[in-house]
Amino acid sequence: MDVEYLAGWNAVLDGLREPLLADEARHNLALGILATARSTPGIYPELRGWVVRQEGTVVAGALRTPPHNVILVRPRNSRAIEALAHAIDDEVPGVVGAVPEVDDFAAAWAETHRVGLETRFDQRIYRLVEMQPTQAPPGRMRLATIRELALVLERFRAFGEEVRHGPVVTADEDPLPALVENRLRSSEAGVALWEDGGEIVSLAGFGGPTPNGIRIGPVHTPPELRGNGYGTAVTAELTRLLLGRGHRFCFLYTDLANPTSNAIYTRIGYEPVCDSRDVAFVAPSV
C-alpha cells in the first residue's frame, strides 16, 4: 500500500473526495472542516492530509489541522488503517473517528509509538431527513448577531467545559473566540437563540456544510433552565430553517453518556448513523 501526504484543503479534498462523499453523515466533521478552510482560510492556516492507495484505489485516509487530532476517513480494511498509522509522522494528541476504525487506528498508533490510550468521550452521529412534529415551549427562535458575540462565546465555553469536564486550554491558547466570531459573521454558519420573555434560554450553533447537508451544534441550555423543552425547540426550529434553505439533511452529535439528549433528537426525527469516539494518546502506564 502507498501512503501519500497532502497539503492544503484543495489537495486533501481532491485526494479524499470519493470516500468522504460516499457517506456524508459519517464524514460530516471532515467535510465541514474542508468547507470552512475553503471559505475562510485563516481559520485553519495549516491543513494536512494522508491518502492510502492500494493498486490505485483509495482505501483509507485522514486529515488534520495542527495542533488538533487526526480525523479519520472510513477505511476499506484494517490493513489500510495500519499503513496510515505507520505513515503519519506528526506528533498528534489523539484521533477522532467513527467506530470501529477509530479503535483500529488508536491500537495501531499505540503499538507503533508506544503510547497509552484514553477515551475522552463517546458520541453518536445522527442525521435527519424529515421532521417529526413537536410541541414548542413558550418563546421563539431567532439568529444571533455579531453584537451577541460575548453571550454566545460564554455559552459555547460552558458547553465545552461540560463535555470535557473542565477547561482544556488557557486563555492565551484558546481558539474559541475567533471560531465563534467567524461563525457569527459567516454566510454558511451561525447560531440560533431561543428567547423566552426577553431572556436567551437556549442556543444551537450550525455550520460545517457538506455538499448536501449541514451540522447542528453545539446545543446548550444553562443547567438551571433545563427540563423546559428549550433545547428541543431551538434544535427543531433550526433544523426546519436549514432544511428550508435547501439542505437535504442535517447532522448532529450527541453525548452517549447523556440518554436525555439522545431521546430528544430522535423525537424531532434524527436517526442514528454511527458512533464516534475521541481518543487521546497519553504516556503509557508503568
Mean pLDDT by 10 residues, the chain (286 residues): 94 96 95 91 90 95 96 94 94 96 96 94 95 93 97 94 59 74 92 97 95 95 94 96 96 89 90 97 81
pLDDT for the residue numbered 284: 82
pLDDT for the residue numbered 130: 94
Same fold yes or no, 2-123+278-282 and 131-268: yes
pLDDT for the residue numbered 170: 41
Q: Does domain 2-123+278-282 have CATH number 3.40.630?
A: yes
Cα separation, 60 vs 73, whole angstroms:
6
pLDDT for the residue numbered 155: 95
As a CATH number, domain 131-268 is 3.40.630.30
For the record, the C-alpha cell of 178 comes out as 475567533
pLDDT for the residue numbered 165: 52
For the record, the C-alpha cell of 163 comes out as 463535555
Cα separation, 202 vs 233, whole angstroms:
9
Listing DSSP states for 59-94 in one string gives: EEEEEE-TTS-EEEEPPSSHHHHHHHHHH--S--SE
- Type of residue found at 26: R
pLDDT for the residue numbered 164: 67
pLDDT for the residue numbered 43: 83
